[in-house]
Homo-oligomer: A and B are copies of this chain.
Amino acid sequence: MAQARQTRAEIIERSLVLASVAGLDGLTIGRLAADLGMSKSGVLGHFGSKEALQVAVVEAAADLFDREVPGRARGADPGLPRLVALCAAWVDYHEHPPLPGGCLFTAAASEFDDREGPVRDTLAALAGVWLRDLRQHVRLAIGAGDLPANSDPDQILFELTGHILALHSALRLNRDPTAPDRARRAIARLLGSDT
């Protein structure tokens, strides 16, 4: 039914908001049902279990990320220009998060990194896809001479993710408004475009 799909989309949308603030565990069927004016079993019927709901929420967060970050950099040429555009969109996404609790990925990764199961596996797989995308443009940039020939792509990715994680932490824990500019400066230095 189209109606069922619509209801499912509404559940996911609300789940993204709740989970971004309270975490994927803090997201409860009861709270979700109350917010949506549904019964608990009505909510659960769309997913089967809380764990399946959590996986669906993580996948929806990935779709959101794809729209907000790669989606906004798609116009830039492959290689360094695309890498720079991706990083700019990535910082913007943290500076102006589409969800009230900020990047659901960053929070969920920290929440599930010590557990086993499908939620953790989904998070790790999606992070892998994103890093592979970035790595490709790092390699193209090196090949084009836009990054030093002796650059280590994985070292660049390591430091890049660090700058983003520092941004997330400085914004949310320290509420430091200078963090986005610090992240942009760090990234510019890393990618050699600070000249």
Interface residues of A (CB under 8 A from B): 20-21, 23, 25-26, 100-102, 106-107, 109-111, 113-114, 120, 123-124, 127-128, 154-155, 158-159, 161-167, 169-170, 172-174, 178-179, 182-183, 185-186
Contact = CB atoms under 8 A, between A and B. Distances in A.
A178 B153 CA distance: 14
B114 A111 contact: no
B26 A172 contact: no
A103 to B, nearest CB: 10
Quickly give the copy total for this chain.
Answer: 2
B186 A162 contact: yes
A114 to B, nearest CB: 5
A158 B174 CA distance: 12
A147 B127 CA distance: 35
25 contacts: A21-B114, A25-B25, A25-B26, A101-B114, A102-B113, A102-B114, A109-B169, A110-B111, A111-B111, A120-B173, A123-B173, A127-B174, A128-B174, A154-B182, A155-B182, A155-B185, A155-B186, A158-B170, A158-B179, A158-B182, A161-B166, A162-B165, A162-B167, A165-B166, A165-B169
A111 B113 CA distance: 13
Contacts of A113: 102, 169, 172-173
Nearest to A175: B124
Contact of A166 (B20, B159, B182): B159
Nearest to A159: B186
A123 B113 CA distance: 20
A172 B21 contact: no
Nearest to A128: B174
Contacts of A114: 20-21, 100-102, 172
